[in-house]
Structure 1
Amino acid sequence: MGDVRVSGTILVLMVSYCSGSIICDKVDVAEIEGDVISVCYNQGSKEIKCLRNESLQVKQFLQKAHVSKDGDDRNADYRSCVEKFNDELYDVGECLLNASGVHQKMAYQAAIMEVLEECSQKRYCILESDTSSTIHGLKDLRVGERKKRPSHLVVLHQCVKEQVPSVMLCDSKTKTGKEVYISSNRLKMSSLETSNCTCTVSGAVSRVTLLDVRLGNSHVTTLSIRDKTRKVYTIQGGDQAVHFMKEIYISQPEWSLQMDVIRDYLPDKIWMRLEGNY
């Protein structure tokens, strides 16, 4: 891949999984930044829509649980889709990190993968909560110290203007700008004659953000960020691993992004943003 000249930052997001019996911290509603949509586990569907020149970026997953007025959570109806001011939110990521049950991990992972598949880097998506959806499968995973049954999955998201310059990974082009997006294309990757491709980034101090990286279920698929002396960050596939909203700062004036792939194990999605000071 050709040189990508960026005043650059790449953002990286990582996901965790939650167990029904694991204690997760409540989220302070005042600290939530971005748009939220609540999908009730017992009713219908919700849609998310951006403007024509924007793409959906999923930032965080939360569970919502009702709290009764008298403080006795046994009186709170988890089947109700009516949202109230005193509803509690729990961070799915932290729940996943603490989870030990395979069933709970798989349930959260499946729901997260479904939301990302439907919405990430799209202009419009619909999230279903009927019994055939993986989102519905989260309703029995209890949260908090009192092990409350949640009523909604809350998806924190924002619409971002994915304007030029942008780069397709493994495409031999050069782009320059304060902000550059890099995406993957499975068709182009499948036609590669080699098993790897490299982007060279030069510019000021860079912040790297992986907006949505799903490398698939093979450990042979890897994505590495290197400066001139060492690997700064490396992630690999396996068990449908998902990485999003984790930031990496690189102070070197030049660094590289390398993707190692095998045609039979192409990544499901790579979407990242590079930002710099110019």
Structure 2
Amino acid sequence: MSKKANRLYKSRLFVMIFEDKEKLLELYNAVNKSDYQDPGLLEINTLENAIYMSMKNDLSFLIDARLSLYEHQSTYSPNLPLRFLFYLSDLYSGMTRDANLYGTKKVQIPPPRFIVFYNGEGEQPDRRIMKLSDLYTVAEEEHKLELEVLMLNINAGHNSELLKVCQTLGEYAAYTDRVRRYAKELPIEAAVERAITECIREGILKDFLEKNRREAMQMSIYEYDEERHIRQEREDAWEDGRQEGEKIGLEKGRQESRQRIVKNMLKQKKSEEEIALLIGEPEETIRELIEQISSEVPEGDAD
């Protein structure tokens, strides 16, 4: 299956688990320290527009007149607030499609809350607040538009109370951790198969994995490959940048060295022709170096 087809086909394992209203309500209660008991209170309204597939939010839902947007991430990105802004704008647009936005009556909208559940390999704190204003090109005392995203680390050793209160989230974290650990020593297909078999035997996501074993395996393999692909792209980009930086650095070093030599020879009253002969450069190059030196020296310090 091609990468493009995969992108349209796949549904996140996180979404598949928590689109069950009972599981989602369990997660909501754990995050908000609430005690709602009726899953029927939840109104899931995640967009399915394929145009937004590459940046769409995992789960968005209404409860108690509040809009919650939940997303799972295995890679940290400081751009999450901007992505949530785009998504929220589209959600609000859909919610108010039939409203008169030019009328005198207020068009009410539910207040949003943005949460990311992170289980990547990179080190992150238990909780991290990411702000849209962190992405602004100009720092201001008061921002006219702000959006805050709460990122919760669900890796082993982080937010243990949350993972305990929401058993399903804890089991999801345990399962994905096993897949990642086993993939370090086994082909990914074998690693996922081992993780699923063990988790079913030990009662970790047992009902879900028994019922959806094939889909869970396909999603886990895809998500691991995608995570590895993103990580490899970042490493390649870093290496390309490092090599380019070294090249630029060497050239800059040579240029600065030539400027210092020319500057010293000018102090010794050497002519352009003499300097060119001494350092083996064309007179045109020497003239350019002298012009650069002159432009860098403050007026009155040229001597």
TM-score, structure 2 as length reference: 0.21
The structure in which a higher percent of residues are helix is 2
The structure in which a higher percent of residues are strand is 1
The higher radius of gyration belongs to 2
With CA pairs under 8 Å and 6+ residues apart, which has the higher RCO, 1 or 2? 1
